[in-house]
């Protein structure tokens, strides 16, 4: 039985894509006092709602997953919104946690916080060696400020806050809205749409040359809960699979698995995003024993199968 089982735990974003799996992992460890605030009841951008959440839930631990996120297109459309809302949610949740006397705060950052030209694989020490890729810099920097806050609060107040850097997530239940989805659900939707419409081609943003790393959502949830249980240091920690794949290879793989065997057209007038993304994941393994267990092919197959079932596609 985990020591977490006796704690009152708030999981912001706990009803979301990643959050549902984090809640399930906590329940598997015997946690019975889990509070998942809904945005309609608690707008965490507003300080009064954050104060009310602490008063209502009386947590010992907060796992802060709630975020305003999206792919390149969404980031280009909403730089101000993504910056302000992510910054305010995180900073207020951590500050009020400190005032409340919280035992532990788990802040979830983003790979978008890394500099645009970070040597591969990304190591945590490179986090401040440059400016993030421009299309998602406002989001990445807003989330990065939680690391600064966590370290400052640890130093001044002895506040136990940790900061995790998950790579791009994917899996069943992901966001397939074309305005906000990331690359894997966006490509899956394009392929299934093309099959249903009888189209001979799909159009994909960029050149296909950038590389990405992906982490299956259940693995990410396990990593977050392991860190909550076992990690209590100021240094940020990457959460990833260690697998690097080009967007071009990814598109071909998704087309193949989904059954779309036609042309992929690259719209090179659209941005590529960050040139390369792949994490050094050794610190997570060393500090709290996390290692991804789902192979990319298995995770992709599960995701496509789920999406086809939701769409009613055979």
Residue 180 has pLDDT above 90, yes or no: no
Nearest-angstrom CA–CA distance, 215 and 121: 15
Over the stretch 71-97, which tens digit does the pLDDT of each residue have?
A: 777 778 999 999 999 999 999 999 999
User: What's the CATH fold of domain 3-173+214-242+277-294?
Assistant: Rossmann fold (3.40.50)
What pLDDT does residue 287 have?
98
Domains of the chain by residue range: 3-173+214-242+277-294
Mean of all residue pLDDT scores within the chain: 94
Burial 68-85 (b: 16+ CB within 10 A, else e): bbbbbbbbeebbeebbeb
192-237 pLDDT, tens digit per residue, is 999 999 999 999 989 999 999 999 999 999 999 999 999 999 999 9
145 pLDDT exceeds 90? yes
pLDDT score of 49 more than 80: yes
Q: What is the pTM of this model?
A: 0.92
Of the candidates 306, 184, 193, the residue with the CA atom closest to the CA atom of residue 251: 184
Instruction: Give percent of the chain with pLDDT exceeding 90.
Output: 86
Nearest Cα residue to 302 out of 209, 222, 214, 213: 214
- Catalytic residues, which ones? 139
pLDDT tier for residue 123 given thresholds of 50, 70 and 90: very high
């Amino acid at each position: 039985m985990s020591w977490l089982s006796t704690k009152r735990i708030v999981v912001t974003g706990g009803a979301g894509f990643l959050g549902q799996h984090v809640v399930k992992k906590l329940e598997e460890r015997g946690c019975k006092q889990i509070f998942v605030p809904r945005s309609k009841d608690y707008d965490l951008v507003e300080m009064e709602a954050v104060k009310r959440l602490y008063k209502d839930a009386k947590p010992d631990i907060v796992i802060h997953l709630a975020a305003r996120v999206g792919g390149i297109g969404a980031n280009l459309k909403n730089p101000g919104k993504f910056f302000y809302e992510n910054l305010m949610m995180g900073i207020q949740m951590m500050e009020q946690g400190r005032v409340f006397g919280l035992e532990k705060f788990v802040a979830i950052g983003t790979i978008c916080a890394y500099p645009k030209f970070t040597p591969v694989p990304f190591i945590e020490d490179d986090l401040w060696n440059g400016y993030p890729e421009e299309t998602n810099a406002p989001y990445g920097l807003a989330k990065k400020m939680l690391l600064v806050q966590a370290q400052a609060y640890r130093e001044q107040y002895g506040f136990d806050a940790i900061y995790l850097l998950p790579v791009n997530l994917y899996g069943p239940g992901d966001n397939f809205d074309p305005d906000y989805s990331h690359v894997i659900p966006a490509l899956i939707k394009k392929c299934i749409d093309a099959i249903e419409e009888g189209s001979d081609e799909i159009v994909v943003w960029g050149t296909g040359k950038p590389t990405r790393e992906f982490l299956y959502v259940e693995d990410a949830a396990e990593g977050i809960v392991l860190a909550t249980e076992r990690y209590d240091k100021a240094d940020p920690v990457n959460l990833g699979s260690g697998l690097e794949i080009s967007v071009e290879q990814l598109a071909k793989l998704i087309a193949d698995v989904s059954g779309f065997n036609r042309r992929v057209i690259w719209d090179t007038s659209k941005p590529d995003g960050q040139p390369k993304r792949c994490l050094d994941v050794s610190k997570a393994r060393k500090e709290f024993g996390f290692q991804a267990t789902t192979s990319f092919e298995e995770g992709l197959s599960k995701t496509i199968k789920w999406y086809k079932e939701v769409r009613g596609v055979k």
